[in-house]
Chain A
């Protein structure tokens, strides 16, 4: 039996995987047995050495990484392909969404974005009592967690204060499910203090929602707007992101003689190589895969010209510490002003290059820089621009150290603050922390409260009790528990006082 067949066989017989998880890993293995889109030698070498990385999205891009449908289309017009009439009641609207989600692909084959739900459902709520709304949304929430059990699936509510947003946050805090993940979009000119307080109290209850800073995001997008998908990915609605590639900044620093060499030679080289990797993948998706012949495009759920490319970076902390050492300086990233400023300078350079480079088949003709949350096996590298686990300073110093980065990452910054459980008796402290962070330029705010069973690992949610059970008896209903267990063991994630991370991939079968 060939190695490949042995691997297939191993998956089918793995007692730790459910049959759907087996099917998924088999399909990933099959895809990855096909040849990769053609890369030049230098790019292929950088990918092989993992200085640049394709997030293990698969060898044959036949679907975009993140699809951000405008679900209002299927609600208002119905779908000829799915034989759905326009929705006229809340029940019909929820039912249409439940059907729609099964036809929206992504890198995980599960929908990573399930809509700005209050905008979508409010038009159908006029005749619905508060009690009925609660009951219907609660069943909907249970369905999402049980049928689409992936923590990267992401719902959005806000910025307005409305019945649907309030009821969803209430249900989410009550059920404490891993899925769906949730972002509350906050805008001080639109959101009420009451709904902002509710969001903060919900964070204390279950580490959800994330809070997104609308005044920073909205101006970057057009009237069609944006959505927050998966974890911390801020993308054009009615489109999404074709791919997410990333540079391991630690590896770039290791290949540099000193800071000058890093900025003048080595970083520009790998920035270019990562662009080439991105272009090869986008070319396959747009010109070979046939994806854009889909009914999703024909029926205007998505538009071919609204897909961006996410240009990711990670291991900023290790990169800066490496360069500091090469310059004979002891100050560490996150704690030392010189080290922090070096980090900000790197982010600025990356931003400027990504903004300048024309890209084909990309929304507005360019990629969007992204501070990427990490995979479950990142070998000691810290996600994005985060401060390494376990060494974070107090939350205020933490925010102050990182705030300057946020302006440079239009498609999102993965950051998680760990708060100890004494915050439970004082939600006003959390509210002030969020407001302070946003005033300093944070685009998103995510927190873990240290005694919550539900925690963020790299941005996706897992239950600590599920990880314990997974280790004891093998097997979890929820895809991200597998990732979380891997991340917890290799990434020292659970060493974090309270931990957080965000992420999205179960990219490979790793036995």
Chain B
């Protein structure tokens, strides 16, 4: 059997913002959206071995071997210059993980974990790996009490969701915008599949949380907020809705000229949503 490998940008052993309790988080490399507001733009693309980053590396951790960019993590000091100079928003520091590699990580950190979350990039671009991993966790005596979550942009088609949901406990889903033209501008893609995903996940009882990024002058308009309220109400007024506030941290390019979302405006919108009947609106704990 040809077991899938995951291309992983980063692993966290402690995260309290990626689902219930403490979670091991795998950030997979590669995304099918290209949002200018992305705060991890280096996770968007897979490396094409152009080699532009190699001469920029101050510690010599990057070399080209047989036409491929190779990263030596043992001498890397994580200065991230390679990410800054990458012309395509990729990451030469990715690691390949097998399912067994991730199971080993879970064993090692099990006492501290409530579960695992696959994030990205866009997690579902590596769906076969997720299915194999979650299936392995669910059938492992020592790991099966860990919950398995996905953090997604929702672009995965319905038929594909149905292959992963049986081994998935919950999904955190981002909706970038309700107006489709706006969604296209913010992501380069249509929102039809995203909205369909939200309904599908809700009906399957797997929608753990909806997330909505507030961007001043773009996604904070009265129309968008009204659409958001109507959409959530049509699911269940108690659906957890997390409002995120656009900040410049990590952002590259054009969106750095966009204004950031301020706490009072987030609080005002949260109050509007609550008065529209939503009962589970969460606002950011911190603005950076």
Contact = CB atoms under 8 A, between A and B. Distances in A.
A422 B25 CA distance: 15
Given A425-B285, A439-B111, A440-B111, A394 B13 contact: yes
Interface stretch (A118-126, A167-175, A297-305, A427-435): A427-435
Contacts of A397: 13-14
Contacts of B14: 394-397, 429, 433
Contacts of B286: 420-422, 451
By size class, the interface of chain B is 10 to 19
A413 interface: no
A interface: dominant SS: helix
A396 B22 CA distance: 10
Contacts of A394: 12-14
A15 interface: no
- Interface of B (DSSP majority class): loop
A208 to B, nearest CB: 19
Given A428-B21, A429-B21, A429-B22, A423 B16 contact: yes
A396 B20 contact: no
Nearest to B17: A422
A432 B21 contact: yes
A265 interface: no
Point out which of B12, B14, B23, B286 has the most chain A C-beta atoms below 10 A from its C-beta: B14
B112 A436 contact: yes
Contacts of B13: 394, 396-397
Contacts of B285: 421-422, 424-425
A121 B8 CA distance: 55
B247 to A, nearest CB: 14
A426 B16 contact: yes
Interface string A386-430: 000000001111011000000000000000000111111110111
A440 B108 CA distance: 11
B260 interface: no
Contacts of B112: 396, 399, 432-433, 435-437
A432 B22 contact: yes
B109 interface: yes
B235 interface: no
B113 interface: yes
Nearest to B288: A420
A423 B18 CA distance: 11
Residue picked from A422, A432, A437, most chain B C-beta under 10 Å: A432
Nearest to B13: A396
A473 B50 CA distance: 60
Nearest to B21: A428
B114 interface: yes
19 contacts: A394-B12, A396-B13, A396-B22, A399-B112, A420-B286, A424-B285, A426-B20, A428-B21, A428-B22, A429-B15, A429-B21, A429-B114, A430-B16, A432-B22, A433-B14, A435-B111, A435-B112, A436-B111, A436-B113
- Shortest 8 CB-CB contacts between residues of A and residues of B: A436-B112, A429-B16, A436-B111, A428-B21, A429-B22, A396-B13, A426-B16, A439-B111
